Amino acid sequence: MAQNVCRPKIWKAVKKVWSDTIRENYNRSHELNSEHSLQAALYARLKPEIADISPNLTIFVEPKIRLGREAKAVVFPDILICNIRSLTLICAIELKYKPRVTGAAIKKALAKDIKTLLALANVNSSICFEHERHHGPRPRENLYKSTPTTLYVWAGVYAAKSKDTQASEDAKFVMNVIEDGGLRELAESGKFRSLHAITSKDEPAQVWPTCP
């Protein structure tokens, strides 16, 4: 699987899975009640989608990542998609679940997500997966590298500013806050994308950008 082909395929899959999860698990069945339930729903839908792209792709949910073999700094990204054959980081996803909080009010809560994505994007050496909670045959040391085509994604569920605003207005506001927080260069290079689900009282959440 060539790296230059992977990003558009991964983005298409992630975008589709986000739309399906919000439509089915949030709007229809009301199963989502926390960020962890959002993680679980996305994992369940992403797994078969990435398997169709390549059998070498796998998903890690909230792994402990050391930013270099000898580094002290660690992060816990919400979801990572990796190629276990080439040992490359394909996509990093940070999630936010605040369905009763407006985009303007979650501004402070976005700092952790921005910091995590920036840390993964800027690391100069391999990232190291640590298996502190694994008990059994010792896993091999997992060192993965980001590449020029690694995709960084923020996906959030949050409330509309008012019932009169369009979903695109709320989404663009939050997107600008995230990019102004340090991700604009990644966005301009095409490495960063965002997904939004905007909630309103007595109305289904609206997904932006829309999925064809």
Task: List the end-to-end C-alpha distance of the chain, in Å, as a whole number.
Answer: 25
Instruction: Please classify residue 26 by burial: count the beta carbons closer than 10 Å to its beta carbon, then call 0-12 exposed, 13-18 middle and 19+ buried.
Output: buried
**Strand, helix or coil at 93?**
strand
Long-range contacts of 73-82 (CB under 8 A, 24+ apart): 73/119, 74/130, 75/115, 75/116, 75/119, 75/120, 76/116, 77/116, 77/117, 77/120, 78/35, 78/39, 79/39, 79/42, 79/43, 79/46, 81/10, 81/46, 81/50, 81/57, 82/57, 82/58, 82/144
Q: Tell me the domain boundaries of the chain.
A: 3-208
Could you tell me the pTM of the whole model?
0.92
> Does residue 146 have a pLDDT over 60?
yes
The pLDDT value recorded for residue 63 is 92
- CB of 59 closer than 8 Å to CB of 79: yes
Per-range mean pLDDT, top range of 92-96, 144-148, 164-168: 92-96
> Does residue 60 have a pLDDT over 60?
yes
Separation CA 131–CA 64 (nearest Å):
8
The pLDDT value recorded for residue 93 is 98
- CB of 30 closer than 8 Å to CB of 207: no
Residue 133: pLDDT band (50, 70, 90) is low
More confident position, 108 or 100: 100
Residue 111: enclosing H or E segment and its boundaries? helix 110-122
Token reading at 84 = 């276990």
Residue labelled with tokens 């060539």: 2
**pLDDT (average), residues 108-134:** 85
Label residue 136 left, alpha or beta by phi (over 0 means left) and psi (-120 to 50 means alpha).
left
> Does residue 92 have a pLDDT over 80?
yes
Residue 104: pLDDT band (50, 70, 90) is confident
